[in-house]
Amino acid sequence: MFTGIIEEIGRVRSLRKQAGSAILGIEARLVAAELNPGDSIAVNGACLTVTAREKGGFSCDLSPETIQRTTLGAARKGMAVNLERPLSLGSRLGGHFVQGHVDGVGRLVSRAPGGDGWAVTIECPAELERYLVSKGSVAVDGISLTIAALEENAFTVAVIPFTLKMTNLGSMEIGSAVNLEADILGKYVERFFQLGLASNKPSGLSAAYLREQGFWKP
C-alpha cells in the first residue's frame, strides 16, 4: 500500500526484455539505500518487487501483465520515474490509499499555468471515467492528485509548483503516456451494487431504535 507522495525521482538505467517479461534497472540514491530484494517499490505508480540492489540503484522484474497494462514496458534509458516505498505502520497518510495496481494508461494533454500552480489535463480511457469524481483522488504515475475538473475522456488536476519540481510531471513532454489508478473506494462501491448488496428497502434503523440500544441521546 502506498500514499501517492513521491519520495524521489529516479532514472531508468536499462530495460532488458526477455521472452515476454523484462528486467527494469533504476538509478536511485535515496530510496535504494534502504531497499532489499523482496521489498515492494512503486515505480511510476506500478507496484514492483525489488529483485536486486545495485550500487546507486536497484532492479525489478516486469511480468507480462505489467508490460501490457503500464507504461514501463516502453521505458527508455534516462527516463525520469517517480519512486515511493510502501506505507509503514505509524506513518502519516499525506495523499490517499494507492495500491500500485495500475487501472489504465492515459496521456498528458496539456500543462498550463493556473492560479498559484499549474493546470494539468490528462486524457483517460473511457472505462475509467466512472471512477473519477470532482474533488476526488486519482494517482497519475503514482502521484496522489485531486481532480479539479472533468470532461469527456479527460480530467484536469491542479498541481502546485512543489509537486512539479519533485515529480516527473514538470519535465514530462506533452503527449507522454502516464499510469493511472483510480481511488479504490469507487471500485468497491461499484462491486457492492454489482453483487446486489445495495437495496432501497428500509433498513429498520431508526432514531427510536438507536435510543433503545443506548447509541444515541438527543
Q: Do domains 8-84 and 104-194 have the same CATH topology?
A: yes
Rounded mean pLDDT of the chain?
A: 91
List all residues 6 or more positions away from 185 whose beta carbon is below 8 Å from its beta carbon: none
SS (H, E, C) 157-209: EEECHHHHHHCHHHCCCCCCEEEEEECHHHHHHHHHHHCCCCCCCCCCCCHHH
Higher per-residue pLDDT: 116 or 113: 113
Pairing of strands 46-54, 57-62: antiparallel
Find out if CATH 2.40.30.20 is the number for domain 104-194.
Answer: yes
Domain 8-84 fold is Elongation Factor Tu (Ef-tu); domain 3 (2.40.30)
Residues 167, 44: Cα–Cα separation, whole Å: 10
Of the pLDDT bands very low, low, confident and very high (cuts 50, 70, 90), residue 200 is: low
Domain-wise residue ranges, the chain? 8-84, 104-194
- What pTM was computed for the model? 0.87
Percent of the chain surpassing pLDDT 70: 94
Q: Which sign, positive or negative, has the C-alpha torsion 75, 81, 85, 91?
A: negative
pLDDT at residue 121 greater than cutoff 60: yes
Report, as an integer, the average pLDDT of 25-51.
96
Residue 57 pLDDT grade (very low, low, confident, very high; cuts 50, 70, 90): very high
Q: Residue 32's pLDDT band (boundaries 50, 70, 90)?
A: very high
Burial class (CB in 10 A: 0-12, 13-18, 19+), 157: buried
| pLDDT band (50, 70, 90) for residue 40 | very high
Residue with cell 540503484: 57
Question: Residue 216: its pLDDT value, please?
Answer: 57
Pairing of strands 177-182, 21-27: unpaired
pLDDT tens-place string over residues 138-167: 999 999 999 999 999 999 999 999 999 999
